[in-house]
Amino acid sequence: MQNLLVTGGAGFIGSNFVHYCVEHTGFHITVLDKLTYAGHRESLASLPADRVDLVHGDIADAALVNDLVPRADVVVHYAAESHNDNSLHDPRPFLDTNIVGTYTLLEAVRRHGKRYHHISTDEVYGDLDLDDPGRFTEETAYNPSSPYSSTKAGSDMLVRAWFRSFGVQATISNCSNNYGPFQHVEKFIPRQITNLIDGVRPKLYGAGANVRDWIHADDHSAAVLKIIEKGRPGETYLIGADGERSNQQVIETLLELFSLPAGAYDQVTDRPGHDLRYAIDSTKLRTELGWRPVVDSFETGLAATIDWYKANETWWRPQKAGTEARYVEQGQ
Ligand code: NAD
Ligand code: DAU
């Protein structure tokens, strides 16, 4: 395995994966990215030109995809419209990219006989009650709530069908909420960090009892590498680092890390259909492939993420005002 085609490699998790591969493998990586509002050339700018190429284009462009796929040994598919709140206001791009884009890639890997890894989310399983002792496993039934998560669930189903009907050598991973550098300021953690840097109070949706299961993007990247190296085609692997926290707890931790008083946040309009709790049981990945998270704790990872946003204002500043203007329009 020498050449990877990484879709969405200029986005948050994709760019972290490309950085991780440059550091930990000898792969050459071609990134295919549409550079939507969520994709940033700058996220890859520090990487060596002989290891990483960026092709600006759409995964739903069959001619382009059929040109790039034959040159790769493995296709790792991160590209997506990824934000739940956006999907509630304009679902169409989610269908185009997450469904038609995935279909276009699957047809190309089928035609050219390439190994394919599909990046998905725990949100395909819907949500758990706050007091449910259970967690999601690979056997949990799909039950997505939002236009975003339903298009991700649809794309997972396409991958399963292309494996069973056409023998495409595909694996799927469903990961929980990521945090780390290069995440767009529309998302929960970077929105609050950049608010706090600007002296603005963090914004909590509703009462903030909703629970997310946080994992550092580097731990996600290490898991994806294990799966593309040792995963069994046709299998799904759940990725999670036992990082359950309520949104309110996350905001309180951020306030503490900024040396601000507890409770110094605003409650804003809740997200319609807001999933209550996600929680991942990653036993299969840990026992079958020997993966385990290496980031010490959520709190140390969060402190390092704060440092990254403080040191990289030129990266996030251009996104900030427009993102906040949209949230204000929505009462959030
Ligand atoms: P992101 O929005 O930060 O990045 C998405 C990237 O895809 C951007 O660079 C964008 O330009 C690109 N893109 C969008 N449409 C495209 C198209 N039609 N053709 C080519 N490129 C296109 O998203 P992210 O948070 O990095 O998520 C990446 C993947 O990981 C997604 O598939 C998402 O569902 C999945 N995921 C995300 C999380 C999370 O916590 N963020 C957790 C689990 C799984
Ligand atoms: O679980 C994996 C998913 O995690 C991925 O599939 C998605 O691509 C990714 O965006 C993320 O989805 P969430 O909806 O959980 O992430 P988000 O960062 O938008 O919000 C996290 C939680 O914080 C959620 O309960 C909503 C809440 N929230 C969000 C924002 C932006 C707030 O309380 N205040 C905010 O300002």
Atom number in ligand 1 closest to CA 96: 18
Closest CA to 216 of 254, 186, 176: 176
Phi-psi region of 99 (alpha: psi -120 to 50; beta: other; left: phi over 0): alpha
- Is 10 a pocket residue for ligand 1 (Cβ < 6 Å)? yes
pLDDT tens digits, 305-317: 999 999 999 999 9
Q: What six digits make up the tokens of 285?
A: 């990945």
Distance of CA 27 to the CA centre of its chain: 21
296 pLDDT exceeds 90?
A: no
pLDDT at 1 over 70: no
Q: What is the CB neighbour count within 10 angstroms for residue 321?
A: 10
Give the model confidence (pLDDT) of 131-142 as tens digits: 999 999 999 999
> Quick one: average pLDDT of 285-302?
96
Residue 168, φ and ψ in degrees, nearest 5: -60, 135
Which residue minimizes the CA distance to atom 31 of ligand 2?
188
Q: CB–CB of 52/27 below 8 Å?
A: no
Q: Give the fold, CATH level 3, of 3-184+215-243+274-295.
A: Rossmann fold (3.40.50)
Q: What is the mean pLDDT of the chain?
A: 98
| pLDDT digit string, tens, across residues 23-41 | 999 999 999 999 999 999 9
Task: Give pLDDT tens digits for 233-244.
Answer: 999 999 999 999
Catalytic residue numbers read 122-123, 148
Ligand 1: nearest atom to the Cα of 97 = 18
Tokens found for residue 330: 């929505």
Strand-pair category, 74-77 with 52-56: unpaired
- Output 306-313 pairs: Cβ under 8 A, ≥24 positions apart: 306/193, 306/254, 306/257, 306/258, 308/180, 308/181, 309/181, 309/190, 309/193, 309/194, 309/197, 310/197, 312/181, 313/197
Query: Over the stretch 77-97, which tens digit does the pLDDT of each residue have?
Result: 999 999 999 999 999 999 999
CA dihedral 154, 155, 158, 164 (to 10 degrees): -110
Q: How far is the CA of 188 from the centre of ligand 2 (A)?
A: 5
User: How far is the C-alpha of 199 from the C-alpha of 281, rounded, in Å?
Assistant: 37
* Mean pLDDT value of segment 248-272: 98
Question: Could you read off the pLDDT of 144-198 as tens digits, one per residue?
Answer: 999 999 999 999 999 999 999 999 999 999 999 999 999 999 999 999 999 999 9
| Site to substitute for ligand 2 among 122, 187, 204, 332, most atoms within 8 A of C-beta | 187
pLDDT of residue 318: 97
pLDDT digits 0-9 by tens, 101-144 = 999 999 999 999 999 999 999 999 999 999 999 999 999 999 99
Query: Is the CB–ligand 2 distance for residue 84 below 6 Å?
Result: yes
